[in-house]
């Protein structure tokens, strides 16, 4: 069995995320329990493991101090995934309305064995609009014997109406100390020969994911009997700081040829490209913070936002990529070859279908474009307390230009474009723009063209 599954936490005391463990303990201290949770966080941070722990706590008959025993038949059946009253649904593969309708019908039936039926819906943001509407009706009037646990890596895609009916629990990326603690549990159980500094190196390379850390450790055990820091660095394909700095400078200067040549060289050397771009993204994020904190940086703010968005999208496309390096290569090319940035362009040709204007030649006020570009993050942050879902959508969008009192915004996804074209969303955005910039403006959203 793979390490991550074999050593996944089975009780709250084993949960490596102490913050989440404390929060769950408080929510489940006494009945009535919350009827719905929304677990939000990156992959591999323990959302599904915690959901099963919740199912044990609400149903275990041998609880002590609010903690499930972990060894009774009920706890063991939930751990094994064989308990019929605990249903796990993968929304990524069960997106249809039929599946949720079936759930609504079956939820009316009392549990076969347990006190509470527990429905764990993973990647809930993948449900269709119709399925979300059906789920909402169940959440509005849940039976007393049912508890829902929704898990997602993309909370901004969960409708506000659904999210507002759940207790939200944030699973942040695991801290290095928590990752090392998790890895040490595996080391002890498997009696592995590994140096302490090697464990720290594995934790640093795990991108805050318990699952990734356990996977990397297991891969190393299959290759070497003794694991030192040099073995870990060889495995993850560590990149020297000189190569990284040269790449970042070529990126800033948009040198397409040099960038592609570096990627090809790293591939030829057997380096871990995903890990490399994760480090690149980390470096860019630090530059972004510096740029907006008043420190001197050689980067343009607009360029930083653009390349960070493009690389973030590249990471999200890895699961479906035919060639693993292709999303990064396309992101780099799109950024480096983009000669018409927000602050510089004076003309733009927009698809007739997108904005239904007779002329494709749009004259743009450069100073106005610069204003929206510089204030975009402030606008997003000011919207967040009003409508968290809208602020999440806006993070993957960008203002293109202003024409005749209309702000054209580019959305990366059709779903986001549709959301931004809703009257309620446009009113919130227009009012916030009025407060931040002082402009009374109309909003038009267009979908980003895919090559």
Q: How would you write the pLDDT of the chain (451 residues) with one tens digit per residue?
A: 789 889 989 999 888 888 899 999 999 998 899 999 999 998 888 999 999 999 999 999 999 888 999 899 999 999 998 999 998 888 877 666 777 777 878 788 898 899 999 999 999 998 888 888 888 988 988 889 999 999 999 888 999 999 999 999 999 888 888 899 999 999 999 999 999 999 998 998 887 889 999 999 999 999 888 999 888 887 876 677 788 889 999 999 999 999 999 998 888 877 778 888 888 998 899 899 988 888 888 898 889 999 999 999 888 888 777 888 888 999 999 898 864 444 344 334 444 444 444 334 444 445 566 678 888 888 988 898 888 778 888 888 888 887 777 888 888 777 788 888 888 888 889 889 888 888 788 888 888 765 5
Classify the phi-psi angles of 388: left when phi > 0, otherwise alpha if psi is within -120 to 50, otherwise beta: alpha
Q: What is the pLDDT of residue 349?
A: 42
Q: What is the pLDDT of residue 387?
A: 84
Spell out where 124-166 has E strands.
146-152
Contact in structure between 232 and 198 (CB atoms under 8 Å) = yes
**Three state DSSP letters for 380-445:** HHHHCCCCHHHHHHHCCEEEEEEECCEEEEEECCHHHHHHHCCHHHHHHHHHHHHHHCCCCCEEEE
Contact in structure between 73 and 168 (CB atoms under 8 Å) = no
pTM score, whole prediction: 0.60
- Domains, the chain, in order of start with CATH, read 3-170 (3.40.50.300), 176-236 (1.10.8.60), 241-336 (1.20.272.10), 347-447 (3.30.300.180)
CA distances from 204 to 141, 212, 236, 355 (A): 44, 11, 11, 46
CA distances from 147 to 10, 35, 59, 143, 402 (A): 19, 5, 11, 9, 48
> How many Cα atoms within 13 Å fall on the side-chain side of residue 323?
7
CA distances from 193 to 199, 216, 220, 225 (A): 11, 15, 11, 7
């Amino acid at each position: 069995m793979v390490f991550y599954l074999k050593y996944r936490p089975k009780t709250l005391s084993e949960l490596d995320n102490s913050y989440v463990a404390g929060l769950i303990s408080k929510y489940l201290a006494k009945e009535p329990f919350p009827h719905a949770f929304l677990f939000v966080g990156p992959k591999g941070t323990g959302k599904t493991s915690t959901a099963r722990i919740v199912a044990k706590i609400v149903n275990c008959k041998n609880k002590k101090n609010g903690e499930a025993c972990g060894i009774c038949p009920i706890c063991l059946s939930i751990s094994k995934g064989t308990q019929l009253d605990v249903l796990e649904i993968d929304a990524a593969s069960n997106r249809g309305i039929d599946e949720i309708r079936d759930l609504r019908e079956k939820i009316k039936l009392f549990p076969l064995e347990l006190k509470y039926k527990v429905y764990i819906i993973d990647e809930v943001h993948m449900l269709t609009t119709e399925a979300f509407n059906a789920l909402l009706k169940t959440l509005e009037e849940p039976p007393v014997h049912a508890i829902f646990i929704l898990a997602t890596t993309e909370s901004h895609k969960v409708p506000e109406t659904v999210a507002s009916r759940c207790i939200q629990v944030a699973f942040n990326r695991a801290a290095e100390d928590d990752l090392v603690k998790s890895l040490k549990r595996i080391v002890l159980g498997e009696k592995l020969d590994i140096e302490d500094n090697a464990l720290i190196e594995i934790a640093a390379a795990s991108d805050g994911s318990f699952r990734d850390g356990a996977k990397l450790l297991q891969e190393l055990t299959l290759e070497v009997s003794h694991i030192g820091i040099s073995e870990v660095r060889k495995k993850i394909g560590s990149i020297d700081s000189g190569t990284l700095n040269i790449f970042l400078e070529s990126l800033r200067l948009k040198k397409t040829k040099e960038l592609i040549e570096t990627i090809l060289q790293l591939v030829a050397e057997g380096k871990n490209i995903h890990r490399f771009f994760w480090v690149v993204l980390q470096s860019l994020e630090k530059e972004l913070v510096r740029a907006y904190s008043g420190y001197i940086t050689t980067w343009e703010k607009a360029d930083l936002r653009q390349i960070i968005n493009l690389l973030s999208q590249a990471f999200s496309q890895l699961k479906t990529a035919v060639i693993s390096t292709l999303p990064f290569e396309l992101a780099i090319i799109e950024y480096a070859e983009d000669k018409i940035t927000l602050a510089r362009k004076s003309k733009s040709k927009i698809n007739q279908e997108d904005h239904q204007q007779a002329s494709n030649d749009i004259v743009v006020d450069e100073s106005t474009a610069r204003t929206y570009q510089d204030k975009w993050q402030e606008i997003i942050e000011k919207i967040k307390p009003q409508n968290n879902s809208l602020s999440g959508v806006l993070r993957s969008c960008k203002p293109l230009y202003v024409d005749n009192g209309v702000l054209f915004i580019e959305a990366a996804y059709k779903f986001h474009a549709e959301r931004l074209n809703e009257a309620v969303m446009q009113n919130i955005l227009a009012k916030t723009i009025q407060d931040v910039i002082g402009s009374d403006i109309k909003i038009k959203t267009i979908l980003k063209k895919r090559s």
